[in-house]
Amino acid sequence: MISALVHCFRLARVGFVLAREGALSLTDVAPLPPAMRLMISLGRTVERRGARESGSRLAAAMTRLGPSYVKFGQFLATRPDVVGVRAAADLESLQDRLPPFPREEAVRTIEESFDVPIERLFSDFGPALAAASIAQVHRARIGEGEGALTVAVKVLRPGVRERFARDLASMRFAAAMAERLFPSMRRLRPIEVVETLARSVAMEMDLRLEAAALSELGENTRDDVDFRVPQVKWDLTARDVMTSEWVDGTPLSDMAALVAAGHDRVVLARTVIQSFLRQALRDGFFHADMHPGNLFVDPEGRLVAVDCGIMGRLGHKERRFLAEILLGFITRNYRRVAEVHFEAGYVPRHHSIADFAQAIRAIGEPIHDRRADEISMAKLLTLLFEITALFDMNTRTELVMLQKTMVVVEGVARSLDPRLDMWSTADPVVRQWIERNLGPVGRLEEAGRGALSIAGFAGHLPSILNRGERIVEQLEIAGERGFLLAPESVADIGRAEARRARWGNLALWAIAAILAAMWLGG
């Protein structure tokens, strides 16, 4: 009871800040129940002057709410299926930049992590160079003289775990209430969205896991001549501290510096796209935060990616899905694109493949009347996911993350080369993966994997048959005697349902009352 009221007050503050910054004006109230429409109407009366003219209302609200909501906003920017296209576009401007915490606190965290004075770890430890909601980065040196090594030291922000735990608890409460009170929202899986965020944040707050991601990405790309990542210094890495090789390079965001350094922007644009597609298709493990601030060009002309706090994974089925979709649009084989959706189990079988292919044709045909450099692969995937919603395709978190990362990657590539032909750039990577995995060799490997699965199943078959026999016997007994519930169980179920309904209504009215009081007091 007390925790529910605490969550209600916290969420009321969130609602007030959203209302104050004009974010509620992005809400489509038509499908909402009357109680929610009334609350939103009350909330919009406290908008500050000029808020509706702002192009980043949600971003401004999330920034005011603090680090947890900045991270939540960045996560929701990757989920237009949940918040809508307008809100996702608003959140894309959200910058995860905070004032740095004092150098002394970073030193204290490092010394507590390794239980030795910082002078024994680094010969020099500079001030913070960049600070975000979870951690900040310092430049440091190991050793003295010509053999000294410059490194980047990432240090977790003090108290960040407690702050995120508190805010995530309120987000979980809000998601559970939304699913319970508004069944139509269950298709968007708000509880799963919050849990995905919680897992992502938990991994980001253990810098050993980010170091592992950096190491894995480095192993996957070690033979790529045009892409690399910094090496991890494992002896100087712990839960709250990560040390890696310092990158001496030109930021991809500094066009003038790239030109002055003599780098070919057209070649770099192709490298950005092809590196991302190789990671996604070949490795199934990709950097999911490839904005210009995380990308550099080293003196040898190689693309260098840093900050592996957010990564994406694709299984073999998802990689095949992506490759065949891209190839299907390239070759205008819309029937095959539709079949891939059904084969992957993403679209329910009661829908017609022919109708789905027709809807996909409506996306694909217009792009073939335009120049190649005018076609956006990321926008095409966005339109595709909008169409799939009409055919009851459930949200696939990994695919949405892939699509949003592609939006960012394509934007970076086109900033380098505005006339970039996305399709000819992607074609070699896509075709190579398809020839390798869907050609004769790939078919043999798939058959081998299937044979191993069948062999494993056959080994468990006797125990499965025994369990099946017991289940059938129990069902026969239940069919003769019926399924019985003890009176105490029936009473407990009734009381539990009554409590959920009572607290759900109380939570909604508490939030409405707080918003009304703020409106009358303002």
Q: pLDDT tens, 8-46?
A: 777 777 877 777 777 776 666 665 667 667 777 776 666
Q: How confident is the model at residue 407 (pLDDT cuts 50, 70, 90)?
A: confident
Tell which wins on pLDDT, 306 or 517: 306
The 10s digit of each residue's pLDDT in 246-293 is: 998 999 888 899 989 999 999 999 999 999 999 999 999 999 888 888
Q: Which of 81, 90, 240, 289 is catalytic?
A: 289
pLDDT at 521 over 50: no
Per-residue confidence (pLDDT) for residue 282, from 0 to 100: 92
Amino acid at 235: D
Q: Which residues contact 380 (CB under 8 A, 6 or more apart)?
A: 329, 363, 364, 367
SS3 content of the chain, % helix, strand, coil (to 5): 65, 10, 25
Asked if residue 90 lies in contact with residue 59, where contact means CB atoms within 8 angstroms, the answer is yes
pLDDT at 506 over 70: no
Tell which wins on pLDDT, 218 or 461: 218
Asked if residue 88 lies in contact with residue 79, where contact means CB atoms within 8 angstroms, the answer is yes
Per-residue confidence (pLDDT) for residue 9, from 0 to 100: 75
Flag the least confident range among 140-149, 296-305, 452-461: 452-461
pLDDT at 55 over 60: no
Amino acid at 78: T
Query: What is the C-alpha separation between 93 and 133, in angstroms, rounded?
Result: 16
Per-residue confidence (pLDDT) for residue 128, from 0 to 100: 93
Query: What is the C-alpha separation between 203 and 208, in angstroms, rounded?
Result: 9
Count CA within 13 A, CB hemisphere, residue 377: 32
Flag the least confident range among 125-129, 225-229, 346-350: 346-350
Is pTM, for the whole model, over 0.85? Answer: no
Flag the least confident range among 234-238, 335-339, 449-453: 449-453
Among residues 312, 252, 246, 251, which one has the least CA distance to residue 284? Answer: 312
Query: What is the C-alpha separation between 80 and 402, in angstroms, rounded?
Result: 13
Q: How confident is the model at residue 520 (pLDDT cuts 50, 70, 90)?
A: very low
Q: What one-character DSSP code corresponds to residue 118?
A: G
Which token pair is 377?
């692969």
Whether 283 is catalytic is no
The residue behind tokens 């692969």 is 377
Q: How confident is the model at residue 3 (pLDDT cuts 50, 70, 90)?
A: confident
The 10s digit of each residue's pLDDT in 337-377 is: 888 888 877 788 888 899 988 988 888 887 766 666 676 77
Percent of the chain with pLDDT over 70: 74
Tell which wins on pLDDT, 438 or 426: 426
Query: What is the C-alpha separation between 417 and 252, in angstroms, rounded?
Result: 12
Q: Which residues contact 259 (CB under 8 A, 6 or more apart)?
A: 265
Per-residue confidence (pLDDT) for residue 507, from 0 to 100: 56
Query: What is the C-alpha separation between 508 and 522, in angstroms, rounded?
Result: 21
Residue 124, beta-bridge partner list: 141
Q: How confident is the model at residue 168 (pLDDT cuts 50, 70, 90)?
A: confident
DSSP string, 268-322: HHHHHHHHHHIIIIIISEEES---GGGEEE-TTS-EEE---SSEEE--HHHHHHH
